[in-house]
Structure formats: structure tokens, C-alpha cells
Amino acid sequence: MKKFLLLVVLVLALAVDALAQRPPPPPRGMPTPAAPELGANSYILVDFNSERVLVENSPDTRVEPASITKLMTSYVVFNELVEGNINLEDPVVVSEIAWRTGGSRMFIEPGMEVTVEQLLKGMVIQSGNDASVALAEHLAGTEDAFAGLMNHYATQLGMSASHFVNATGLPHEDHYTTARDVATLSIALIAHFPDFYRWYSEKEYSFNNIRQHNRNNLLWRDPAVDGLKTGHTQAAGYCLASSAKRDGMRLVSVVMGSSSETSRVSESQSLLNYGFRFFETVQLYRAGQQLAQGQVWKGETEQVTLGIRDELFVTIPRGRYDDLDAQVTMRPELIAPLLEGENVGRISIRLENEEIAGRGLITLGAVQEAGFFGRTWDGISMWVGGLFGDD
């Protein structure tokens, strides 16, 4: 019997040792290969909803934006339209200054009366420098004054590494941006002005009996692409800010300083394909959705509903959704009065012990202070709990 028990123990020991030496199971989901390496000077790939950066190379290097500048020009004009300060039907008389502006043109002529909408389409679709200057003069009197508006909105959007001196992108030593800032601007433009953003997907525009094609060749190459803007000068190289949406997932790609018109298209396509192929974006929580209940002391109610202020999206490697973990931390004690929207904690979304997203946990309703007896009773309960609670 002793020999039999000894044999059983030996077999179990060998089995445990074998399990200990067995390699861990492979992670769920498809493997994520290294990001493509491009020949452009700087580039970045960002998910629109989660704003997670999927690929980047020198994204904060200062670069000349060339005609990608017109994204900021259009942002300013779109904002003025939404605020009601101007209208699409407003007539604009073309100045000689706008007419004489060099570079790409929509072919307006001095003294010609055109509408704000026509100028916007000439700038967005045809990349007209003349249209950009005409819009700038209409809004601010001069292009220099309009550049002040551009920098104001850039600051509001957090584009801390950008500075604009004109509405066109023509070269100037004090006119610069970064790939990251262009991505920030692109996301804001799509999010804030969806009705106007559709113009960026139009492939051609005719004005003054001249038909011109959109310079963004990705619009013909990939049906998921619906914007945004090209740029090119000798100093800036070939640039392209693009956005595409597939199966509800939108990505924004920015390529700055590519070597040719063809390469900026192929490099942008490589980034977009990589992001769509190996990542997925999911919405975890809605704004105002109940996520937890918090115990309230000295209040008219004993519980308060907790949630987040904004929608929460995460971008993760494909197939890893079930590996996500949500952790909630809260104040040690919630004591009334509590205001609606008061920050009382935090929710952290983690993947393999790395935080990939987080939001403040807020109260979804107010809790008024209880009366004298309610406050007194809860005060005693808190004192007793503290006296006999765990160390």
C-alpha cells in the first residue's frame, strides 16, 4: 500500500512539473504585425472615435502644410456658417488680391460676384488658392486678419505645434504644423461639421465653364475614403490627409513629405489598410449610461447613480474584446450634498494590465442633504464603522 501511494505521489509530481513547463496558451485574436514603414518624412494613423494612435513616425516634427492648410481655412468658415455670422448664399465680390494669388485656382476673376458656397467648393474640391483668399477677405477683411482667426481656433483645438500666416498654404517661414496636429484638425472637422464634410468626397467641380477634379486620388482608389485634402510645394513635398470608414470604423491618416503624388496615395492606403485589417473599434459605454451605484452618506437618498460624461470607444487588436477588463475606483466616502455631474471616481479600461482608456466617473443625478436627524444618524454610523472597520 505504501508503495502504491508513493507511486501516485510520484505521478502527480511529474504531472505538475509537466504543466509548469508547458508554454502559456497563445493570446486570443489574430497576431498584430509591425506597422508599415513609409518613405514619408512624418505620418500618423488615428482612430476617429477613440482617438487612439495606431501608427506614428515623427508625428510632432514641424513641417510645412502646403494646401492642407485649407482644412483650417474651411474649419473657420464652417464655424462662421454654423454660428450664423455668414450664409452660403452670401455674395462675395472677388478682389484683385484674391485673383492674383498664385498656385492652384478655381478661376474666379476680379469684380466677379460669387457665393460663399461656390468659393467653399472651389477651395475644398479644386484646392483654389484664389477661393481661399476671397473667403478670408470676406470673413475678416484681410488675409492677415483671417490668419489670426485660424490661430485662435488652432489653439482651441489643442494644435499647440501649429501656426498659420495665410489661408492657402503658400510657403512662409512662420507657417507650419505637424502630422499630429493635422490629424487633430481632421477629426474635429469631421465631428463638428458633418454636413459640410461631405464636400470633401466630391470628385469634381465645375466653375466658370472649367471642370476640375479633386486632387485626392484615393477617392477613386478606395470607395471607403471620403476625404480629406492634398498638399504640395517643393519645400513641403507631397502631403495627404485622408479619412475612410469601413464597417462603422473610421480612421484618419496623415502623410507629410512624401516623395511623389503616387507615393502619398499608396502610403496613405497602406496605413488605412493596416488599421482596418488588424484593429477594431468598439463602443463600450454611452454618455449618461448607468455604470455603478455609489452609497451616499447624510443624503436624502442612500444611493446615487454613476456614469460617464462622454461616449467611450476603445480601439484594440482584432479578437481581443473578451480580454478587456474594467476597473472602477471611487472616493472613500460620498457625502451629500452632491451635484449632478460631480466627479467622484474613475473607470479604467485595461488590456493585459495596460490602461488603454479611462474616464471620470460622475454622478448622474443630484443628492440633496438630509435633515438633521438623517445627518446625525449617518454621522454616528460612519463613526462606528470607522471605529470597528478593518485596519
Q: How many residues does the chain have?
A: 391
**Where in the chain do CATH 3.40.710.10 domains reside?**
42-282
Q: How many CA atoms are closer than 13 Å to the CA of 134, on its beta-carbon side?
A: 35
Tell me the sheet residues that pair with 230: 240
pLDDT at 60: 97
Sign of CA dihedral 112, 75, 204, 132: positive
Q: How far apart are CA 61 and CA 48, in angstroms?
A: 22
Domain with CATH 2.60.410.10 in the chain: 286-379
Select from 142, 139, 143, 159 the least CA-distant residue to 151. 159
pLDDT digits (tens, 9 = 90+) for 1-60: 434 333 333 333 333 344 345 555 455 556 788 888 899 999 999 999 999 999 999 999
Residue 310 near residue 359 (C-beta atoms within 8 A): yes
**Residue 70 bears catalytic tag:** yes
Could you say which of 104, 127, 243, 268 is catalytic?
127
C-alpha cell at 329: 475606483
- Measured between alpha carbons, how far is 91 from 101 in angstroms, rounded to an integer? 20
80 vs 374: which has the higher pLDDT = 80
Residues whose CB is less than 8 angstroms from the CB of residue 345 and which lie 6 or more positions away in sequence, other chains included: 294, 306, 328, 329, 330, 331, 360, 361
What's the pLDDT band for 381 if we cut at 50, 70, 90?
low
pLDDT in tens, 259-309: 999 999 999 999 999 999 999 999 999 998 888 888 776 767 878 888 899
Q: Are 208 and 108 in contact (CB under 8 A)?
A: yes
All three cell numbers of 235: 519645400
For the stretch 341-347, contacts whose Cβ atoms lie closer than 8 Å and that sit 24 or more positions apart, written own/partner, are: 341/309, 344/294, 344/306, 345/294, 345/306, 347/291, 347/308, 347/312
Return all residues near 64 (Cβ < 8 A) that are at least 6 apart: 169, 171, 175, 176, 177, 233, 235, 236
3-state DSSP assignment of residue 62 = coil
Decide: 364 and 293 in contact? Cβ < 8 Å: no
* Position 387 pLDDT exceeds 80: no
| pLDDT for residue 388 | 47
- Return the residue matching grid coordinates 470676406: 138
128, pLDDT greater than 70: yes
The proportion of the chain whose per-residue pLDDT surpasses 90, expressed as a percent, equals 66
Cell digits for 305?
A: 447613480
Whole-number Å distance between alpha carbons of 8 and 191: 67
* Among candidate residues 237, 233, 318, the one with its CA nearest the CA of residue 47: 318
Q: Where does 42-282 sit in CATH, by number? A: 3.40.710.10
Report the DSSP pairing between strands 292-297 and 334-335: parallel
Q: Is the peptide bond before 337 cis (omega within 30 degrees of 0)?
A: yes
The answer, yes or no, to whether the previous bond of 171 is cis (omega within 30 of 0) is no
User: Which residue in this structure is represented by grid cell 488652432?
Assistant: 154
| Cell, residue 91 | 455674395
266 as an active site residue: the answer is no
286-379 CATH: 2.60.410.10
User: Which candidate, 289, 251, 227, 224, places its Cα nearest to that of 49?
Assistant: 251
Q: Rounded to the nearest 5 degrees, what angle is found at the Cα of 135, between the Cα atoms of 133 and 138?
A: 110
- Convert the pLDDT of each residue in 104-127 to its tens digit: 889 999 999 999 999 999 999 999
Catalytic residue, candidates 42, 50, 70, 242: 70
The residue from 50, 67, 243, 258 that is catalytic is 67
